Amino acid sequence: MRKLAIGTALTGALALAGVTAPAASAATPNLAFSDVTVNKGKAIVVGTTKTVNVPVTYTLTRPADLVIDNKKTFAAVMLYRGTLRSLANELDPAVMPTCTTTATTDTTVTESCSENIPVDPYEYLYDAADATTWKAAGLYAHVDGTVSDDFLSSSSDVAIWGNLTTAKVQRAARLTVDATPEPAVAGKTITVKGKLTRANWETSSYPGYQGQKVVLQFRTAGTSTYQNVKGITSGTGGALSTTVKASKSGYYRYVFAGTTTTAAATATGDYVKVK
C-alpha cells in the first residue's frame, strides 16, 4: 500500500513521522479544511485496469505567516479507509493541489483549492473491503534536514485532520444481453440471455455476480423510452435468462440498479425484428 506519495520529500516526512499514528508538535500550525467535495459528490466507480482520476475541491484557511511552498511545507486532502489510528488503506494526490486566495485578514489566508487523486485499481485497491465508504482528511507536513554523502539529519512535523467528508468507492459492473431468435415470429417465444459481472480487484477480472436483482426492459423500434418487462435474479456465474412473447420489433436490455459496493450497469440494447 502506498504511503501519501505527494512528492519524495513528503513521502520521507511521513515515513519518518509514522503516518499510522501521527503526532502534531507544538509548532504545528492551525489549519482548517472545509467544504470538501470528492468526485463532485458521486461514487468513485473503479474497474480492473483503468486509472480513475478523482477530483477533490475544498477550502483551506491557514495562518497568514505560513508559507506552503510544496518543497518543505505541504498541505493537501487524502482519502482513507479505517481510522487515523489504524489506516486500512489510503489514496492520495499524485501532484500538489492548486490553490487560489479568496480572502485575507490580518492573521489568516483563505484559499480555494483543487487536486486530483488517481485511483489505479492494480496498485491501490487490493480486496473487496475497499468497496465501501471512505473518509477524507486534511494533511499538513513540514520536513527539513541536511544530507550529504556522509551525513543525514532530518526533522518533520505532520498533522492530519480526519473525517472531513465521505466518499463511496464501488466496484464497476458489466451487463450483457442476447435476445434470440433473430428475427422472431409474432406470438412465438423470445429467449433473452445475458450475464452480470463485477470487478474483482484481487484477480483483475470480472467474475459473475450471482443472486442479484436485474430488470429486463424493452423499447419499441422508433421510440426512445424503455419500459420494464420483468425482474429476474442472476444465477450461477451471473447468468441471466428469461423468455417473453414476441409482439413488436424493438430492443431488449438488462438493467442492474447496483448495490452499496457495486455500481449500477445497463446493457446495450439488442434489436429483434418481429415478423
d(CA 161, CA 104): 22
- Mean of the pLDDT values across residues 27-31? 83
- pLDDT at position 27 is 63
Q: Is the pLDDT of residue 1 over 80?
A: no
Min mean pLDDT across 7-11, 143-147, 165-169 is at: 7-11
- Residue 218: Cβ within 10 Å count: 21
Min mean pLDDT across 17-31, 55-69, 181-195, 241-255 is at: 17-31
- Residue 116: Cβ within 10 Å count: 13
CA of residue 253 relative to chain centroid, distance: 27
Burial 63-81 (b: 16+ CB within 10 A, else e): eeeeebebebbbbbbbbbb
> What percent of the chain shows pLDDT beyond 70?
90
Sequence-separated (6 or more) residues with CB below 8 Å from residue 38: 44, 54, 55, 56, 79, 136, 165, 166, 167
DSSP 245-269: E--S-EEEEEEE---SSB--EEPPP
pLDDT grade, residue 16 (50/70/90)? very low
- Mean of the pLDDT values across residues 126-151? 91
CB 110 within 8 A of CB 170: no
pLDDT in tens, 53-104: 999 999 999 999 999 998 889 999 999 999 999 999 999 998 999 999 999 9
200 burial level (CB within 10 Å; 0-12, 13-18, 19+): middle
| Side chain identity at residue 53, one-letter code | N
- Mean pLDDT, rounded, of the chain: 90
Q: Which three cell numbers stand for residue 17?
A: 513521522
d(CA 120, CA 54): 11
104 burial level (CB within 10 Å; 0-12, 13-18, 19+): exposed
Q: Is the pLDDT of residue 113 over 50?
A: yes
Give the chain's domains with CATH numbers: 7-170 (2.60.40), 173-272 (2.60.40.730)
Tell me how many degrees the CA angle 82-83-86 measures, rounded to the nearest 5.
Answer: 90
Q: Is the pLDDT of residue 233 over 90?
A: yes
DSSP 186-233: TTSEEEEEEEEEE-BTTTTB--B--S-EEEEEEEETT----EEEEEEE
Backbone angles phi, psi at 258, to 5 degrees: 90, 170
